[in-house]
A and B are shown apart, each in its own frame.
Chain A
Amino acid sequence: MTEPVLKEKRPHQRVVMICVNDQSVEMPTRRATGLEIKQAAIEQGVSIQLDFVLSELLGDSGKTKIIGDDDLVHLHKHSRFVAIAHDDNSDDSNEIVPSVLTAIAEIKASFLGVAIVHKPDGKGGAILRIETVALGDQYVQKTTWLSCHITFQYPFADVYPLFVRPDLARKDGAPLGQGISISSFDGYPATQLSRRSNHRDPKVETAVMKILKVIQWLNEQL
């Protein structure tokens, strides 16, 4: 005789399981924005990206409702979502303007041997990420990634702020200091380095020069 399986009574919790693209996603709260749903799905392995369009499936009718990144959704265990990318037909939303491409090329030339990725921002600019930048001895971490947004009006527009890993910390436990704050960038947590140049000369201060100056500044924060 087998003993009856006792159902374990789970404590009351707010976690809710939803479906995104037919894959289960655990949400920590019953209310979330479209962006938070996509972030959770990405973290849990669903093959989507933050700029995908999220829609909620309404019952079995086949009808859907588009959920914007800032729209708040009440979640329940039957909530089902689809997230899909736009089907681009050679429009120019992925185009990066020549001045930004030049900046990217200069950055890559200055960081030879370091992985650098970039993606279009949809307006002609690009979001760029340098995967490995050495940090000074005052920091717990030895390296960081560094990311920035080069907008379509570069070189007239400044390249700021810059972002590095979110867990950046000093060995002495002191605060990171002025101009360094916790933030997010491109949908991810990040440490923000606010170093803006109100009077920069677009002929002289290139994106790569700005990045190098900010790295130097960060490593000089003793």
Chain B
Amino acid sequence: MNKRCVLTLPQVLADKLMAHLFPGDNDEHGAVITAGICRTKRGIKLITRDLFLARDGVDYVPGQRGYRMLHANFIREKIMYCRELSLCYLAVHNHSGYNTVGFSKPDLASHERGYPALLDINKGLPVGGLVFAENAIAGDIWLSKTKRIALDEATVVGGNIRRLYPSSLVLPKHFESIEDRQIRLYGEIGQYLLSKQKVGVIGAGGVGALIIEYLAGLGVGEIVTADPDRMEKYNRRRIPYSTVSQTMEWLVEHVWEKLYFLAVPKVVAAKRFVNRFNCNVKVKAVFGDITEPRVADEFKDCDFLFLAADTMQARLMFNALVFQYGIPGYQIGSKISQNQQTGAVTNIFSVVRPVGLKTGCLLCNGLINPAKLQEEALSKRERDAQAYIEESDTPAPSVITLNSRGASQAVDEFMLRVVGLYGDEDVTPYVRVHPHLRLIQYDIPRRDSTCPMCGDVAYSTRGKGDSARLPVRTG
């Protein structure tokens, strides 16, 4: 069975490409997309990194065997770039028409003539061709000289997450849904699109548990969640599906505190809950820390990511996954600030931060504290030895109602973006809600084009997929 092959394309690049391919002259135009590759059990995901437009008459010229062609000089320049950065090479052109598209015989003959050589130059990394029509895409991807696959779909990640196919999406006949009240909002197609989503939730604590609950209610296809902690007594008022038996609190408190290892991992509790609540939703429960390679690997081919963990290491990993693997994501949190001396509450807010190419990354916006990252990489003994650390291990205040504000806002936006009911605007500011002031603030994030994670520079890991290294630990 052929593996699923998909392409992700940021809205900003898609807009630029569409304007180039379809300027209104009903002619053909060309371009090259470079893409990182992510290989998983689910299939192959190509992650768009760069778009190079071919200049008409210079790079895209009258063809020798077909109507038009990309000039060899242009191809050489781009394939060498791909070789240097370990990226896939995808030649792009357009056909007229809409909602359906396919390659012509001269297109395919050209692939067969030219792509084996490009594979050699590109050190075996995939090369291929893409053809666009209005609202449609087809792809012929060469994984090797003997193995080629068709592109199943492309995802354009903007405000709405648009999907392009070789021909219009038709609902499978067997598709049935009990989510009648939801379908009245976004239709059966919307429900179908939700059911195809693989969503990652990093952290299954107070915020993560609510997100998982909402996603299960929406009927997404699969939830992947990771958390290194077990259920404990103090989680019970923030995780609605928690039970006394999951925490083993009687044993822990009255017999031996080390029996804590018998408590149920948070991710297992989440999985059990989802199995009861909506058995159509698959759950992959990963008991471990996101900085472990085996844990991080599970999130690489997610369609959407939520960060619901409060460590800097988790933020860095989430940020890296979002940009390296082209996954739209949200960071959600809530904070209660107190005066260190008096204990008086000085600020309360919950925040939802969309993270994507146009909003810039958490690093660009000063939300990954390098000093905290360093501290978190140390063992408890090392931290204790280096007694300079001011913050104690005392847990921060946390309240379910504050968590739910952020969680519901983020999952609302996810749902609306997937079903196509989100506004046209791609830039979504950070939303900060201060319930004690009845105040909602919008922070416009910034993007640094030289950022090592989301920037446009050659050394940035954006869109590089498996060819770049995630900031995971080795041991």
Enumerate chain A interface residues (CB-CB to B < 8 A). 69-70, 91-98, 122-125, 149, 151-153, 155-161, 181, 183-185, 192, 194, 196-200, 202-203
For this complex, 9 residue pairs linking A to B, each with C-beta atoms less than 8 Å apart, are A91-B475, A122-B474, A156-B368, A157-B377, A158-B373, A184-B385, A196-B371, A198-B370, A198-B371
Please tell me if B374 contacts chain A, counting CB pairs below 8 Å: yes
Q: Which of these, B377, B381, B387, contacts A152 with CB under 8 Å?
A: B377
CA–CA, A67 and B102, complex, Å? 67
- In the assembly, what is the distance between CA of A97 and CA of B473, in Å? 8
Known contacts A93-B475, A124-B474: A183-B385 contact under CB 8 Å:
yes
Instruction: Summarize A's interface: helix, strand, loop or mixed.
Output: loop
Q: How far is the CB of B313 from chain A (nearest CB, A)?
A: 7
Q: Please tell me if the beta carbons of B474 and A152 are within 8 angstroms of each other in the complex.
A: yes
Further contacts, 9 of them, CB under 8 A, given A185-B385, A196-B371: A122-B475, A124-B473, A124-B474, A152-B291, A153-B471, A156-B368, A181-B388, A183-B386, A198-B370
- B450 contacts A by Cβ under 8 Å: yes
Is B369 located at the chain interface by the 8 A CB criterion? yes
Contact call A200/B370, Cβ cutoff below 8 A: yes
CA A138 to CA B374, docked complex, whole Å:
31
The residue of chain A having its C-beta at the shortest distance from the C-beta of B389 within the complex is A194
A69 contacts which chain B residues (CB < 8 A)? 381
Residue of B whose beta carbon sits closest to that of A96: B474
Interface membership of B288, Cβ < 8 A: no
B472 on interface, CB distance cutoff 8 Å: yes
Smallest beta-carbon distance B365→chain A, Å: 12
CB distance from A109 to the nearest CB of B (A): 19
Q: Are A123 and B473 in contact (CB under 8 A)?
A: yes
Closest Cβ–Cβ distance, residue B446 to chain A (whole Å): 13
User: Which chain A residue shows the least CB distance to B377?
Assistant: A151
A141 to B: closest C-beta gap in Å: 22
Q: Say yes or no: A192 contacts B475, CB within 8 Å.
A: no
User: CB within 8 Å of A: which of B355-394?
Assistant: 363, 366, 368-371, 373-374, 377-378, 381-382, 385-388
Check A160 against B474 for contact (C-beta < 8 Å): no
How far apart are B452's CB and chain A's nearest CB, in angstroms? Answer: 6
Min CB distance, A187 to chain B, in Å?
9
Chain B residue nearest to A98 in the complex (CB): B469
Counting contact residues on chain B (CB < 8 A from A), the size range is 20 to 34
Judged by a CB distance under 8 angstroms, whether B316 is at the interface is yes
| A198 and B369 within 8 A (CB) | yes
What is the minimal beta-carbon distance from A179 to any residue of chain B, in angstroms? 8
Complex contact B474–A123 (CB within 8 A): yes
Give CA–CA (A89, B377) in the complex, Å: 25
Residues of B386-419 at the interface with A, using a CB-CB cut-off of 8 Å, are 386-388
Q: Which residue of B lies closest to A69 (CB)?
A: B381
Contacts of A160 in B (CB 8 A): 371, 374
**Closest CB of chain A to B439's CB: distance in Å?**
27
A156 touches B472 (CB 8 A): no
**Do the beta carbons of A151 and B373 come within 8 Å of each other?**
yes
CA distance A69 to B452 in the complex (A): 38
**Which chain A residues lie closer than 8 Å to B469 at the CB level?**
97-98
Q: Tell me if B386 and A161 are in contact (CB < 8 A).
A: yes
Beta-carbon contacts of B429-449 to A below 8 Å, as 1s and 0s?
000000000000000000000
The reply to whether B388 and A197 form a contact with Cβ atoms under 8 Å apart is no
On whether the beta carbons of A92 and B316 are closer than 8 Å, the reply is: no
Provide the bound-state CA to CA distance between A194 and B383, in Å.
Answer: 13
Residues A156 and B363 in contact, CB atoms below 8 Å apart: yes
Pair A123/B377 contact, Cβ less than 8 Å: yes
- Complex Cα distance, B363 from A1, in Å, reads 88
Given A153-B377, A157-B370, A196-B371: A92 and B475 interface contact (C-beta under 8 Å): yes
> Which chain A residues lie closer than 8 Å to B387 at the CB level?
181, 183
Chain A residues within an 8 Å CB radius of B363: 156, 202
The residue of chain B having its C-beta at the shortest distance from the C-beta of A68 within the complex is: B381
Alpha-carbon separation in the docked complex, A153 to B315 (Å): 12
Kindly list chain A residues whose C-beta atoms are within 8 Å of the C-beta of B377.
123, 125, 149, 151-153, 157
Q: Which residue of B lies closest to A155 (CB)?
A: B452
Q: What distance in Å separates the Cβ of B289 from its nearest Cβ neighbour in chain A?
A: 11
- Distance in angstroms between the alpha carbons of A97 and B370 in the assembled complex: 17
* A29–chain B nearest beta-carbon distance, Å: 19
Q: Which residue of A lies closest to B370 (CB)?
A: A158
Contact A157:B373 (CB < 8 A) given known A183-B387, A185-B385: yes
Q: How far is the CB of B238 from chain A (nearest CB, A)?
A: 28
Partner of B388, one of A95, A161, A184, A200: A161
**Chain B, 149-175, CB within 8 A of any chain A CB:** none
Task: For the complex, give the distance between the alpha carbons of A153 and B311 in Å.
Answer: 13
Whether B474 pairs with A158 at a CB distance below 8 angstroms is: no
The answer to whether A156 touches B370 (Cβ under 8 A) is yes
Taking the closest CB of chain A, its distance from the CB of B329, in whole angstroms, is 17
- 3 shortest A-B CB distances, which residue pairs? A151-B377, A124-B474, A157-B373
Cα distance, A163 to B451, chains bound together (Å): 30
User: Taking A122-B475, A123-B474, A153-B373 as contacts, is the C-beta distance between A185 and B316 under 8 angstroms?
Assistant: no
Chain B residues positioned under 8 Å from A93 (CB to CB): 474-475
Residues of A within 8 A of B386 (CB): 161, 183, 185, 192
Chain A residues near B388: list those with CB within 8 A.
161, 181, 183, 192, 194
User: Is the beta-carbon distance between A157 and B366 smaller than 8 angstroms?
Assistant: no
Given contacts A98-B469, A149-B378, contact A156 B385 (CB under 8 A): no
Asked if residues B381 and A70 are in contact (CB atoms below 8 Å), the reply is yes
B363, B369, B374: most-surrounded residue (chain A CB, <10 A): B374
Check A199 against B373 for contact (C-beta < 8 Å). no
Q: A125-B377, A149-B378, A181-B388 are in contact. Are A156 and B371 (CB under 8 A)?
A: no
Instruction: Give the residues in chain A near B382, CB-CB below 8 Å.
Output: 149
In the complex, what distance in Å separates the CA atom of A98 from the CA atom of B371?
20
**Contact B474 A202, beta carbon cutoff 8 Å:** no
Query: Are B371 and A203 in contact, CB atoms less than 8 angstroms apart?
Result: no
Residue pair B452, A153 in contact (C-beta under 8 Å): no
> Chain B's nearest CB lies how many Å from the CB of A24?
27
Q: How far is the CA of A70 from the CA of B385 in the complex (A)?
A: 12
